[in-house]
Amino acid sequence: MFIGEYQHTLDTKGRIIIPSKFREELGEEFVMTKGLDNCLFVYPKEEWIILEEKLKTLPLTNRDARAFIRFFFSGASEGSLDKQGRVLIPANLREHSKLDKEAVVIGVSTRMEIWSKEEWDAYNNDDNLSYDSIAEKMAELGI
């Protein structure tokens, strides 16, 4: 399980160090893709396969389903860690997530997310982000 928040920087080649606590969980091969809220989602291969199977069940006749599948898969890239525990983030994904130098890597249960520090700070400082309101909505979902 991925949990926690870690501050990192990208090097000049667009590589980022994956927190050591995440490396074993992430495994040898993983998939990185465009995430929601201008971040990147990073899935261990096993979790990606589970998600892929779920997405395959969406109806192709539904315009929103097609759009989501395109968004998710067109930005996907397989990755692996180098000997220093770094991963190269492809240019299109760096552009999507506005990653330049400073980054935040967070654990979100079955996946990691990589955020630009500016986007992460803005997300956390959003006046519309009310944790009390979110908690109420989660209660409605039975959580």
Q: Which fold has domain 2-117?
A: Chemotaxis protein chec (3.40.1550)
Give the count of beta carbons closer than 10 Å to the beta carbon of residue 38. Answer: 17
Residue-range domain boundaries for the chain: 2-117
Percent over 90 (pLDDT), the chain? 85
pLDDT of residue 36: 94
Q: Which tokens in the block code for residue 37?
A: 């809220």
DSSP string computed for the chain: -B--EEEEE--TTSEEEPPHHHHHHH-SEEEEEE-GGG-EEEEEHHHHHHHHHHHHTS-TT-HHHHHHHHHHHHT-EEEE--TTSEEEPPHHHHHHHT-SSEEEEEEEBTEEEEEEHHHHHHHHH-TT--HHHHHHHHHHTT-
Residue 140, φ and ψ in degrees, nearest 5: -65, -30
Tens digits of per-residue pLDDT, 53-94?
A: 999 999 999 999 999 999 999 999 999 999 999 999 999 999
DSSP string computed for 60-78: TT-HHHHHHHHHHHHT-EE
- Could you give the CA distance from residue 130 to residue 109 in angstroms, rounded to a whole number? 21
Q: Which tokens in the block code for residue 117?
A: 């520090």
What average pLDDT does this structure show over 25-51?
Answer: 96
pLDDT of residue 128: 67
This prediction's pTM: 0.91
